[in-house]
Structure 1
Amino acid sequence: MNNKHTYKFLMLLGFCLCFALGSSQNNKQKELETRRQELRREIQKINELRLENKSKEKSQLSLIEDFNYKINVLNNLIKVTNQQANLITREINSNQKQITKLRAELKQLKEDYAAMLVKSYKSKNQQSRIMFLLSSNDFKQAYKRLQYIKQYGDHQKQQGETIKGKTAELQNINANLLKQKEDKQKLITENKVTQKSLETERKQHEVLMKSIKNNINLYTSQINKRQREANRIDAEIDKIIKAAIAKSNKKAGKSSSSKTFALTPAGKALAKDFESNKGKLSWPVEKGIVKVRYGTQPHPINRSLTIKSNGVRIATEKNAKVRSIFNGEVIDVVRMKNVNPIVIIRHGNYITYYKNLSKVYVKEGDKVVTKQEIGEVYTNKINGETILSFSISKESNTQNPASWIYKMY
């Protein structure tokens, strides 16, 4: 590869790298903006739910959950906004470097063009083009001189167009730079507002925590009672699932001691379809925010205590309808003493659970489809909270709903 080709290759490679980097930064900025808007909508939902329940007397435990959740969302919003501002700063720096480079190129182009015009003018004074052609020794030389005059003129025109293009490019980058600076300032201003909101929430949280610490034993007792109740419900559900697994194996003529469902071809296809939609499944309510997440976690009031959550607790609006997240079959509607109804739906060897319902629209054996309404979430008359407890499992093994439901962060 000669020097000319090497130079062209390096120029092309540099252009491709710059384009890829610019495209990557642009995609990242879009992702961050999407996430920022989602967090802002989530904060709006929190405020709407708070306003809806303002007249109700909430328990200290519920209030702490509310504060913790909003503080977490506000922190995430600040983090994402900072990432956006930092990315814009990098883009601004990159554009400023590009502007400096373009200005230098433009200056050199203009100098070359000016020198070319001077040379052309002098050439015209010393010898006219006609004389330049007529002084040729033969026709071949005259033809070459004619080509030279044409090429020189074309080159002048091309230089003029290049200068025009570089000038337009410089103006465009300058305009983008101003827009980026405005966008960055908006993000900074917005972050200051979010910071103030966060400080307010934290102060209220601290005041509430101080009052709670004076009666920590009472609250610890309430926490343990709530966990025991959750464990009792989970144990009952586990029995129902194991019985359903045994029933499916008995029907298929297999060992009843098996811990997995004996799936029919239709059941296998449904399970495969369910798996292929991981991360894209619909929410069990149309509007909601996750107040308690999946897994074992320290309790927000007493950090020495751990709470085990086999699913998520979703705060939603009053009279919210519960929807099946996927096609399936109702295998049970659980009604326990002092417990609101629970609907259990099977999707091949996957199970979804919808707890704390006030109304149930389906019965055991019913076939359901995605987003079909299966009931209504119970609203606590004392504190005004409307909370759906939702879980997913594969056989008896619980899954994190956030991994399955669309944008359940």
Structure 2
Amino acid sequence: MQFKIYFPLVLMVLFLSTNLQAQNSKRQQLEARRTQIQKDIVYINALLSNTKKKETNLLSDVKDLNHKIKAREELISVISSESKELNNEIYVNQLEINKNQRDLEALKKDYADMIFKSYQSKSQNSRIMFLLSSENFFQAYKRFQYMKQYTSFRKKQGEEIQLKTKRLQALTDTLKIKKDQKTALLNEKKKEQTVIEKEKKEQEVLLSQVKKKEGDYKNQIQKFQKEEERIDAQIDRLIREAIAASNRKAEGSKTTTGTATASTSTAGTSTKATFTLTAEAKELASKFTSNKGSLPWPVEKGFVSTYYGKQPHPIVSSATIQSNGVRITTEPGSKARAVFEGTVIAIQVMSGNQKAVLIQHGNYITVYKNLESVFVSDGSKVSTKQEIGTIFTDRVTGKTILGFILSKNTETENPASWIYRM
């Protein structure tokens, strides 16, 4: 009857114990992620708080606050996941403790029964009589061996009880640690929720101010968007010129049609130009592709303040923005660095004397916009993480923002798919 009651429980313990190692690994990953987000929040707060603005920009203030809130929301989400994993570990730990307590009680009962029976026949005379009453020498030898084994078994039972007791104590200590960790996590979550509630109230106040002048801000956004489109058009032209020059060089004096300037296909009124790759360029492109998802950031420290693609403006919802890359906010004086080895194919001077550097990696191109100064020249070979220029710091907003674009031939791709944990 007891077997029928405990067997499903034993199976559950075995199943959960099997998954405990995987759960521990997952929780360790969540813990590492939580630690990293906490560092990111400190960095973002320090970076945005230390930005000295010469004039107030309400949109910039709201956007800064949005970044802080987003980071805290991610932290709360990770804490919740970590707490859930910890709950699973506590549950499995408690099942293990219950099982060990039952095992220990059964061992102690068996041991007590054995000691009692041993006591009843403990006298030396009883043992001697047990041997002397043997019918022959062989039976006496067997009885002697049995007495030795019985004594040994008693000793092992005692040792097993000691081990079980230590195991139970260790499990109990571990359970207490895990419960303390859970309490700490819940306290941290509560603290973050208090902060985020305060920030959201501040956000509501700022958004109500934005709403009053939404039309003016929408015009401001559209003006910025047009300037971005103009710059992106210049970059697209530079890439096409680089493709044409590279293909002419690769083809030499050949007049083969279809490869000198393009393998072209129509997309509206524009064409998709592609590089004719040499064997060396193909190898570089292959290496670049194999590093997808693990390329280093184009800055040493920073966070993404504008993401890739068409999206509603994060503050003025009636406005739409199109970003061919990402914008990364970083510290004043920060350097842009190449995300992979390659060759500088162009350096473009933009309005306001800001510069853009284009680097070719086979048939992939990375673009680094909004540079105040550059350390490379057209045709330079660069290595991974090599510094290529100083990022421009806006004198009005105090912001230092790098524009980063990644494209395959003339088609832009989402940098977040390529850069490690972007």
TM-score by length of 2: 0.90
2:289 aligns with one of 254, 275, 291? 275
2:386 aligns with one of 355, 359, 372? 372
Corresponding residue for residue 255 of structure 1: 260
The CA deviation at 1:11 is 12
Task: Call closer, same or farther: CA 1:15–1:174 in 2, change over 3 Å.
Answer: closer
Corresponding residue for residue 398 of structure 2: 384
Task: Call closer, same or farther: CA 1:54–1:201 in 2, change over 3 Å.
Answer: farther
Structure 2 Cα separation of the partners of residues 346 and 364 of structure 1:
11
CA contact (8 A) 1:310 1:398 kept: yes
Matched, 1:92 2:90: yes
Q: Secondary structure at the match of 1:128?
A: helix
2:74 aligns with one of 62, 73, 76? 76
Structure 1 Cα separation of the partners of residues 191 and 55 of structure 2:
29
CA contact (8 A) 1:64 1:300 kept: no
Q: Secondary structure at the match of 2:121?
A: helix
Structure 2 Cα separation of the partners of residues 274 and 299 of structure 1:
32
Corresponding residue for residue 199 of structure 2: 201
2:149 aligns with one of 148, 151, 167? 151
Q: Deviations over 1:372-396 (max 9, x none)?
A: 1110000001110001111111112
**Equivalent runs, 1:8-27 vs 2, <5 Å:** 17-27=15-25
Task: Call closer, same or farther: CA 1:309–1:339 in 2, change over 3 Å.
Answer: farther
What residue identity is the alignment partner of 2:261? S
Q: CA RMSD in A?
A: 2.0
Gaps of 5+ in 2: 1-7, 252-258, 264-272
CA contact (8 A) 1:78 1:194 kept: yes
Tell me which stretches of 4 or more aligned residues in structure 1 moved more than 4 Å: 10-19
Corresponding residue for residue 328 of structure 2: 314
What residue identity is the alignment partner of 2:100? L
Q: Deviations over 1:45-69 (max 9, x none)?
A: 1111122214543422222221111
What residue identity is the alignment partner of 1:296? K
Corresponding residue for residue 51 of structure 2: 53
Structure 2 Cα separation of the partners of residues 83 and 209 of structure 1:
31
Structure 1 Cα separation of the partners of residues 109 and 360 of structure 2:
77
Task: Call closer, same or farther: CA 1:97–1:18 in 2, change over 3 Å.
Answer: closer
Q: Secondary structure at the match of 1:260?
A: coil
Gaps of 5+ in 1: 1-9
The CA deviation at 1:304 is 2.9
Structure 2 Cα separation of the partners of residues 18 and 93 of structure 1:
9
Q: Secondary structure at the match of 1:124?
A: coil
The CA deviation at 1:128 is 2.4
Structure 1 Cα separation of the partners of residues 294 and 314 of structure 2:
30
CA contact (8 A) 1:45 1:289 kept: no
Structure 2 Cα separation of the partners of residues 321 and 22 of structure 1:
44
Corresponding residue for residue 176 of structure 2: 178
Corresponding residue for residue 295 of structure 1: 309
TM-score by length of 1: 0.93
